[in-house]
Chain A
Amino acid sequence: MQFESLVAFFEMGGHGLYVWLSFSIAVVVIGFNLIQPWLNQKKIFIALNKKYQHENRSQ
């Protein structure tokens, strides 16, 4: 462990803003890249199901 207290961990020796900004942007970018296709998959399944049902009825 490199830090003696929680405050020291957040402050990062005066560089807290830069370090935490970088790491939070990384979390957001990585999270977006995983959540977006996951939501999209759900949408695709719903849309395709509708399409196939519609086709079945019109046949």
Chain B
Amino acid sequence: MKTAKQPILPKWFYQLASPKWCYQITGMLLPLFASLAIALLITGFVWALLFAPQDYQQGNSFRIIYIHVPSAILAQSIYITMALSGAIGIIWKIKVADMVAYTCAPIGASMAFLALITGAVWGKPTWGSWWVWDARLTSMLILLFLYFGVMALYSAMEKPETAARSTAILSLVGLVNIPIIKYSVDWWNTLHQPATFTLTEKPAMPIEMWLPLLVMVVGFYCFFATAMIMRLRNEILTREKRTAWVKKLVTEIDR
């Protein structure tokens, strides 16, 4: 009988899977993402507040879109990242993938929170209500609760291996919510406007409006990379504290 063949993956995949390598590579990537995030977010904030034109119907409250849309996009992307890296952690038994999933949860939760709160603040002057129980808002609230569930499950389990396994399964099950969020504005009647950016169509807004939004979205992604890498490196140090390389690193730096 033949033994099951291991799937062949590129070399960098195995290198990233080693906590030591991952720590070194992310150490090089961190300044890149951090400077990109700072530059893009400052540009985006100034552009959104001072230079982007106001909406002819919504006036200046339209500017909230520059926070609301990037955080909503990020909340969903982070969720997908969390679920997929959790799955990779289960399938290939990669510790680093488990750690990525773990570090994604609080950042994703804060982005879902930001999307919901800016949505409420935007809804008040636009719809006349802070909150309506429609499909888009409700599915987004479920996303926030899924993040909370994942975080609670992590803190309830003592062993990181069992915690990684059960949270990965929970986040994979919750993945079904992502297409629901995406298509909620098409499937159900809603006050919420349809997607601002789609990959296939030209944006419905003029370039003076969507270009700063694009800057913000890319800036938010770089921010996520920065925050995630910082948390990941802390997590690697904590979980690998018994290894010789962490000991060497810590004692050398803090001399």
Query: What is A's interface to B at a CB cutoff of 8 Å?
Result: 1-3, 9, 12-16, 18-19, 21-23, 25-26, 29-30, 32-34, 37-38, 40-41, 44-46, 48-49, 51-52
Interface centre among B59, B60, B231, B233 (most CB of A within 10 A): B60
Contact B60 A22 (CB under 8 A): no
Which of A2, A25, A45, A46 has a CB less than 8 Å from the CB of B118?
A25
| Residues of chain B contacted by A22 (CB below 8 angstroms) | 63-64, 67-68, 117-118, 121-122
- Of all chain B residues, which has the CB nearest A26? B67
A25 vs B110: C-alpha distance when bound (angstroms): 11
Interface centre among A9, A30, A49 (most CB of B within 10 A): A30
A13 to chain B minimum Cβ distance, whole angstroms, is: 5
Which of A1, A12, A38, A48 has a CB less than 8 Å from the CB of B61?
A12
A34 vs B41: C-alpha distance when bound (angstroms): 13
B238 to chain A minimum Cβ distance, whole angstroms, is: 6
Tell me if B158 is interfacial: C-beta within 8 Å of chain A.
no
* Binary per-residue interface labels of chain B (110-136) against chain A in the complex, 1 for a CB within 8 Å, 0 otherwise: 110110011001101100000000000
